Structure 1
Amino acid sequence: MPSVPRPSRRRSAWPSRRWPYNEAVSVRLDSLTPAAVDDHRAGLVALLRDAVDSGASLGFLPPLDAQEALAYWESVAAAVREGSRLLLVALNEAGSVIGSAQLELATRPNGRHRAEVTKVMVHQAARRRGIGRALMLALEDHAQELGRTTLVLDTRTGDSSERLYRSVGWQLAGTIPRYARSVGGGLEATSIYYRLLTPA
């Protein structure tokens, strides 16, 4: 199945762009305002619960309660409102949320060239269609526009997401053992990745 192509850097606002990922369906990437986070609240809650309950390592343990998921997205909306976070969502033709990714902007004076990529997730029903890759590349373009040229992220060591990150140019910096608790109660390692961008 064809992958979602990388958007051109000579583009209009993200909400107006759409990338087909197969012949029948198209996906749109939107950068959400705080009000739009509220508009998509139900879809974002469903996406997070689907990701966590299907085994994604996102800081939560399954089963994820709906109220806990809602409280999380309310905190994201607050961060978007104060300008410390960018939230991208992938929407299908019906306008349903099928993926999301975030860029947390470093706010200290000596770190305003940095950002952290977090909570990259795609609904189980929409995986393996290039949506995760499209979200990563879109975040990269936004980061360059914001002057954030050093990007970092962490992910569970051995997770399938590592293949995605390496495929779009991320480099492994190292691993930390016993970093996060697993569903079974054990402690798992995390892998730290970075990406250095050319200033826009």
Structure 2
Amino acid sequence: MTLTFTFDPVITPAVRDGILDLWADVTDAGGAVGFVPPADRDAIRAALVKQLTQVADGTARLLVGQDAGGRVLATGFLASNGHRLMRHWVMAYTVMVHPDHQGKGYGRDLMAALADAARSLEGVEGIRLGCRGGLGLERFYASCGYKEVGRVPGAIRVAPGDDRDDVTMWLPLT
């Protein structure tokens, strides 16, 4: 199976609901996508509405990976940087692949598609992304060409007594 990646897809109810289902499934599998298990679908829905509002107003862009049947199995958002001295890079966030399809190369495909999408944006020379330490994500992103450029120890509180590092990664596009 291969995924088809679409940058700036039409946000149909099926795409919206597919992202919600993906986000909940990734959360329940322990993925570092802003929530902890068990997935609170209402909280995820509220976060998704906020992110899709940013897509609608043009401050963010969406990349969706779907299988042949149209099921959403991967996503990544790219946010423009509004600061006049930092418009040459975008922030990647809510980057995820369905847990049933991890380890099949889809994560690398997603990261390559995100880089291609960012390159298509005028004046964009890099991608910044944050990830939760302690899960090996830094190694994965490094294998995709990203470099760790910052780390704040214990900045992410997953649960009482379970603090993780907030790791900043950077991918130059030029």
Q: TM-score, normalising length from structure 2? A: 0.91
2:126 corresponds in structure 1 to: 150
1:179 paired with 2:162, answer no
Equivalent residues in 2 for 1:59-138, closer than 5 Å: 59-138=34-113
> Where does structure 1 differ by over 3 angstroms across 4 or more consecutive aligned residues?
none
Deviates more, 1:155-164 or 1:166-175: 155-164
Provide structure 2 residue ranges, at least 5 long, that are not aligned to the other structure.
Answer: none
2:29 corresponds in structure 1 to: 54
1:6 corresponds in structure 2 to: none
From 189, 193, 198, the equivalent of 2:165 is 189
Distance in 1 of aligned mates of 2:82 and 2:146:
23
2:138 corresponds in structure 1 to: 162
Task: Please give the secondary structure, in 2, of the residue aligned with 1:182.
Answer: strand
The Cα shift of 1:175 comes to: 1.5
Task: Please give the secondary structure, in 2, of the residue aligned with 1:151.
Answer: strand
Deviates more, 1:55-64 or 1:120-129: 55-64
Aligned Cα root-mean-square deviation (Å): 1.6
1:62–1:183 CA contact under 8 A, matched in 2: no
Larger Rg: 1
Instruction: Tell me the number of residue pairs that the alignment of Structure 1 and Structure 2 aligns.
Output: 173
The Cα shift of 1:79 comes to: 0.6
Seq. identity, %: 29
Distance in 1 of aligned mates of 2:61 and 2:86:
17
Provide closer, same or farther for how the CA distance between residues 181 and 40 of structure 1 changes in structure 2, counting only shifts above 3 A: same
Q: Deviation string for 1:54-97 (max 9, x for gaps)?
A: 11122222222222222222112111111111111110111101
The Cα shift of 1:165 comes to: 0.8
2:7–2:117 CA contact under 8 A, matched in 1: no
Provide structure 1 residue ranges, at least 5 long, that are not aligned to the other structure.
Answer: 1-24
Q: TM-score, normalising length from structure 1? A: 0.80
Distance in 2 of aligned mates of 1:37 and 1:110:
35
The Cα shift of 1:117 comes to: 1.1
Q: Give the letter for the 2:127 counterpart.
A: L
Deviates more, 1:143-152 or 1:45-54: 143-152
